[in-house]
């Protein structure tokens, strides 16, 4: 299960400071075109991505192409950047979903996710709201994103979406085994760790202009480490021996571990390693050895 991540359409994720930036309109349409033509028919977005721009452009694309991808969207962050306009209170969730459906131009979304925990709202209240939306036919199923094992156990969602990659393996010890045991799909985001697993960041060289390390470096600053560069160089050698890109091999590892991933290209050509990963078969021995590079 590969989903097209649309989080940078018209912004950089849900960050209000970057609304209006990120991937421009025509580039976003071209990315969706290439993904669909390559057989990637699951689009992943969120109501606050680009301040609602991501959902609008997906809706525009759906109307123009006359096709209907599987759709995931999320709720928690503000679509306007208004302080305090966040969270998972039931009345807010219903309001936000209505806006999402309007922007997407659809009558229901296939998966509706809580984008992160809301400590101010009991999880049971949010779940009850999600169940009502499902019963009303407005969502096909609901899930959780950025939740730990305790929240997942309490909620038993239909889908889990957390960060996971060769460089971010916090879920490997508990969440992944639990999802497998319970038969709950785990489709992670960030399989390339903000570009760190593409080969673009190299030892002793400045970060490329326009990269995440020049825009939002905070989540990735811990990767500026000699041990990480050692592992990246070893991954690059392994990819070269296989005749594939470093990014393609890193993605294939995540798919082998999790069964799928949300991949967010910034231009149509960035789908090349995604298509490589879809074709690349890794054995259990391969998965263990490649994972060991980053242990």
Q: Which residues contact 234 (CB under 8 A, 6 or more apart)?
A: 293
- Cα 110 from Cα 92, distance rounded (Å): 19
Instruction: Determine the pLDDT at residue 289.
Output: 97
Chain CA centroid to CA 121, Å = 24
Instruction: Determine the pLDDT at residue 213.
Output: 85
pLDDT of 210 above 90:
no
pLDDT tens profile 116-168? 999 999 999 999 999 999 999 999 999 999 999 999 999 999 999 999 999 99
Q: Measure Cα distances from 286 to 9, 243, 289 in Å.
A: 34, 15, 5
For β-strands 2-5 and 160-161, DSSP reports them as unpaired
Instruction: Determine the pLDDT at residue 217.
Output: 87
Q: How is domain 1-161 classified at the architecture level of CATH?
A: Alpha-Beta Barrel (3.20)
* Residue % of the chain over a pLDDT of 90: 93
Q: What is the mean pLDDT of the chain?
A: 96
pLDDT tens profile 46-84? 999 999 999 999 999 999 999 999 999 999 999 999 999
Domain boundaries, the chain: 1-161, 195-295
* Confidence label for 209 from pLDDT (cuts 50, 70 and 90): confident
CB 40 within 8 A of CB 33: no
């Amino acid at each position: 299960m590969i989903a097209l991540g649309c989080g940078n359409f018209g912004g950089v994720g849900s960050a209000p400071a970057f609304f209006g930036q990120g991937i421009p309109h025509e580039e976003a349409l071209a990315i969706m075109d290439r993904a669909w033509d390559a057989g990637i028919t699951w689009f992943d977005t969120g109501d606050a991505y680009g301040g609602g721009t991501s959902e609008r452009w997906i809706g525009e694309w759906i109307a123009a192409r006359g096709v209907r991808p599987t759709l995931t969207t999320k709720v928690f962050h503000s679509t306007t950047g208004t302080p305090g306009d966040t969270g998972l209170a039931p009345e807010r969730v219903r309001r936000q979903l209505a806006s999402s459906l309007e922007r997407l131009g659809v009558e229901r979304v296939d998966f509706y996710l809580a984008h992160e925990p809301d400590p101010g709202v009991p999880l049971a209240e949010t779940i009850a709201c999600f169940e009502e939306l499902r019963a009303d036919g407005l969502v096909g199923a609901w899930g959780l994103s950025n939740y730990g094992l305790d929240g997942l156990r309490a909620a038993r969602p239909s889908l889990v979406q957390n960060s996971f990659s060769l460089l971010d393996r916090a879920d490997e010890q508990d969440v992944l085994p639990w999802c497998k045991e319970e038969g709950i799909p785990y489709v992670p985001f960030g399989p390339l760790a903000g570009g760190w697993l593409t080969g673009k960041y190299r030892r002793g060289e400045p970060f490329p202009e326009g990269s995440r390390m020049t825009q939002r470096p905070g989540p990735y600053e811990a990767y500026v480490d000699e041990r990480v560069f050692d592992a990246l160089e070893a991954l690059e050698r392994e990819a070269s021996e296989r005749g594939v890109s470093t990014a393609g091999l890193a993605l294939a590892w995540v798919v082998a571990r999790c069964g799928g991933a949300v991949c967010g290209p910034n231009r149509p050509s960035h789908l090349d390693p995604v298509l490589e990963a879809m074709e690349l078969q890794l054995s259990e021995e391969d998965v263990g050895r490649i994972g060991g590079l980053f242990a």
